[in-house]
Amino acid sequence: MDVNELINDLNDAQRQAVCAPPTNQLVLAGAGSGKTRVLVHRIAWLVQVEGVSPHEILAVTFTNKAAREMRERLSSLLQAAPGGSMLRGMWVGTFHGLAHRLLKSHWHEAGLPENFQILDSDDQLRVVKRVYQALNLDDSRWPFKQSQWFINGQKDEGVRAQHITEGHDPYLTTMKMVYAAYEEACERGGMVDFAELLLRSHELWLKDANLLKHYQNRFKYILVDEFQDTNAVQYAWLRVLAGQTSKVIAVGDDDQSIYGWRGARIENIQKFEKDFEQVEITRLEQNYRSTGTILKAANAVIENNADRMGKSLWTSDADGEPIDLYAAFNEQDEARYIVDRVRTWVNQGNNYSDAAILYRSNAQSRVLEEAFLRDGMPYRIYGGQRFYERMEIRNALAYLRLLGNRHDDAAFERVFNTPTRGIGSKTQDDIRMMAREQGCSMFQATVGAVNHGVFTARATNALKGFLVLLDELQEATTGMALADIAEHVIRNSGLLDFHQKEKGERGQARVENLQELVNACRAFEAEESDLTPLQEFLDSAALDAGDAQADDFEDAVQMMTLHSAKGLEFPLVFLAGMEEGLFPHKMSAEEPGRLEEERRLAYVGITRGMEKLVMTYAECRRLHGTDTFNALSRFVREIPDQYIQEVRIKSAISRPVSYAQKVNTAEITQDYPGLGLGQQVFHQVFGEGTILQFEGQGNGARVQVKFNTEGIKWLVLQYAKLEPLS
């Protein structure tokens, strides 16, 4: 490929990054600014213009998909060079993949057996469980996954068990003991988990100076994608490998650092200029994805974060439409509105897959899924499971099923030892075999085993404890309302406490999903039949779970968390649940730096939109079993008024709403009987207020009321129950 062809299609900033002299580089690449293109063309430039051998280049990405894409693009560029493809000698891969390659080549120096085994997450958890058994630890007090999370977190920080100073902290003392025993088990078995790959290879650099020198001499250029997502050990691995002579090209965006909860350190990209000498900084700010309005909104939000490296996205394209903001009465109204908007979008000739609904909490998907199912609209949960397929929900439903039928083997087996209660895998296998041989349910086999003392005293006590638990749950919930049954079972089965002990976003998401299951029970309307409300709900949940989401290649609406959306783009994007306490998440007020990461997450969400961005919030949302009335998210309020328009049922009006806008009273008497503009009314939650506006018809009719103490609210009339005072 001719050198001019290599850079002709680049903008000025991209060309500056690609053609920079051989030095350390920091490329601050804004959302949609073509960072992968720059990274690949920089490598091609080094090879074709600077005469660097592919053998001297190491390129690091964060996902296998990104690594494959980089190799494909490089292969296409370098095959056009004289002599054909030059990719063969280059190391291109993920941190873990490259660390594994290094350890495979130098297993002896790393203190590993030649055929060491890599543990995935499930394998690692099984080793932790064996360690617990050897240490005789109570997993109800110290959950297995808590220890797994602790071990991985310490390794990501480059910390071994012997380096931990526990003092008089029982938690640290126990975790250190588990970590040390786990390390011994892995050494005996020749096993390496994913976090160990990086830590072991980093330690290999430090203990073998000759080997380190060899690779420092080999890799003259180290290029790193998504640099803002590096954790402590990854950053240390890179710094040691680079030494004083290798040149590091770091590409990333401090404004898109959203994985602090899993170890990523935003300070790595912020201190790059200090830790590496003679750093050339290039900012990629021209965006090729979104409209001008969307970019201006994103810039306005992210500017509220302190200690940014500074960057402002812009586009040469038009500003496009304003951002729509819809104030829903509750989460059901919010979901209905989103479905209606998607339906209109598709009727205009667009694809379902061009629309994406993004939300902060996994639990928000439940109401949205139900709305899509009712409408018969195809949808897909990207990077996750549908609500009723999630592990914690299936476990809770299994307990509920056992209340009505102890002989439900699938449910019995699912929660037999969940949360763990000391029923070992051998005991479980024996119970299954007894049930098959005797032609009875697993419940009956368990009762028989307990009554006849088939197992050891310890196993018998564990089995008996489970049977007693089922009886206690049954007795305590008799006569309860459906939602109260679910709440009691989730709490007293130990499921809630089990997941509350999980650290990080995953544990929090599981707790929120369980709370959302209680909300689903509270909102469930049972029909008049011979079945109990619980039986009807379980049947309904099973049918929802049986309605498979769209196939991978079927045109379908995309639904995902904001974290899952990073790196993606869609013509139409909905940001749902834009409320204080939900987004930003309530936990952000409790941890230093968390609010700024939430704001970066908002920035990521906004910049997923290409043509149209819609934000929604609910004035009343049921959270944790109670109705909450949260303020509009600060992230919406940080967007200047001129970029947002408030959407109404029949029209769109610019923010802020003018109270002078009125509707002809003669047109509203049919849909709003007994009510009039300026009328004084009473609401059982919000108190006294004055009617300002009406909109919509039939079931969609809404009324705007200015309450004396609670401010202005839009209420769906059929649910509002307003009482005229005059």
* Catalytic-labelled residue, pool 16, 36, 385, 679: 36
Whether 477 sits among the annotated catalytic residues: the reply is no
What gap in Å lies between CA 300 and CA 340, rounded to an integer?
29
Point out the catalytic residue in the list 256, 315, 332, 607: 256
The residue type at 406: R
Task: Write down the catalytic residue from 265, 608, 648, 702.
Answer: 608
Out of 56, 226, 580, 597, which one is annotated catalytic? 226
Residues 6+ apart with CB under 8 A from 135: 177, 178, 181
Q: Which amino acid, one-letter code, is at 383?
A: G
Q: Is 256 a catalytic residue?
A: yes
Of 429, 349, 415, 308, the C-alpha closest to 30 is 308
CB-neighbour burial class of residue 581 (10 A; exposed 0-12, middle 13-18, buried 19+):
middle
Distance between CA atoms of residues 499 and 506, nearest Å = 9
- Catalytic-residue membership of 536: no
Q: For residue 672, what are the contacts with CB-CB under 8 A and spacing of at least 6?
A: 694, 701, 703, 717
Burial degree of 346 (CB within 10 A; 0-12, 13-18, 19+): middle
**136 CA to centre of own chain:** 35
Nearest residue to 32 via CA among 46, 14, 20, 45: 14
Q: Is 332 part of the annotated catalytic residue set?
A: no
Where residue 51 falls (left for φ over 0; alpha for ψ -120 to 50; beta otherwise) is left
Whole-angstrom Cα Rg for the chain: 29
Residue 187 a catalytic site member: no
Residue 93 sits at φ, ψ, to 5 deg, of: 180, -175
User: What are the DSSP E strand ranges found in 518-650?
Assistant: 557-561, 570-576, 609-618, 621-623, 626-628, 644-647
| Tokens describing residue 405 | 């039928």
Token code pair at residue 416: 């037999």
Contact 431, 562 (CB under 8 A): no
Query: Residue 633: phi, psi to the nearest 5?
Result: -55, 140
Q: Residue 654 region, left (φ>0) first, then alpha (ψ -120 to 50), else beta? A: beta
Mark whether 36 is an active-site residue.
Answer: yes
604 with 566: CB under 8 angstroms? yes
State the catalytic residue, choosing from 139, 193, 196, 225: 225
Whose CA is closest to 37, among 74, 65, 80, 89? 74
User: 3-state class of 691 per DSSP?
Assistant: strand
Q: From CA 494, how far away is CA 391, in angstroms rounded?
A: 15
Query: Which of 14, 25, 35, 200 is flagged as catalytic?
Result: 35
**Residues carrying an active site annotation:** 35-36, 225-226, 256, 608
